Amino acid sequence: MVRRGGSKTIQDRVFASLLYLIPLIEVTPFGRQIFALVPLIYKLFIPIFILLPFYNISIGGIAVVSWGIFFAMYLGIIRNYKMPHFLRYNAMQSLLLSIGTALLGVLLRALGISLNFFGSYS
């Protein structure tokens, strides 16, 4: 098995973990009931709730910020072979989780199940 990249610096690990904020922001509409049942989790998610309105900015029904972040991650990190493999791998995993969440939301809307059933804030 080929070992890629060697050792990972603290900066690489912190940046790779920050990439997972994107799917975390996207799943917050599914967790309103959990936040109501466990106030500690709600308090931990307050910084995410602050980022949520900025992430959901849309112009003409198109979520501009989320699409911008998607393409910035794809073109700037995943397709950039000068970046360490560790970061590219974690960026791809983050995007796959985001795509899965988006597909779940589309499926629920197609079945007529509102996210309000799950406790959406919007």
Residue 28 in domain: yes
Q: In the Cβ-directed half-sphere of 112, how many Cα atoms lie within 13 Å?
A: 0
Residue 88 in domain: yes
Q: Can you give the pLDDT at residue 61?
A: 84
Distances (CA, A) of 31 to 23, 27, 53, 55, 92: 13, 7, 16, 17, 24
Q: What is the pTM of this model?
A: 0.81
- Domain total for the chain? 1
Residue 92 in domain: yes
Q: Give the integer Cα–Cα distance in Å for 18 and 94.
A: 10
User: If pLDDT is split at 50, 70 and 90, which confidence band does 120 have?
Assistant: very low
User: If pLDDT is split at 50, 70 and 90, which confidence band does 70 have?
Assistant: very high
Q: What integer is the mean pLDDT of 42-69?
A: 90
Residue 3 in domain: no
Cβ(11)–Cβ(86) under 8 Å? no
In the chain, % of residues over pLDDT 90: 57
Q: Can you give the pLDDT at residue 116?
A: 62
pLDDT per residue as tens digits for the range 73-119: 999 999 999 999 999 999 999 999 999 999 998 898 899 887 665 54
Range of the domain at 84: 10-118
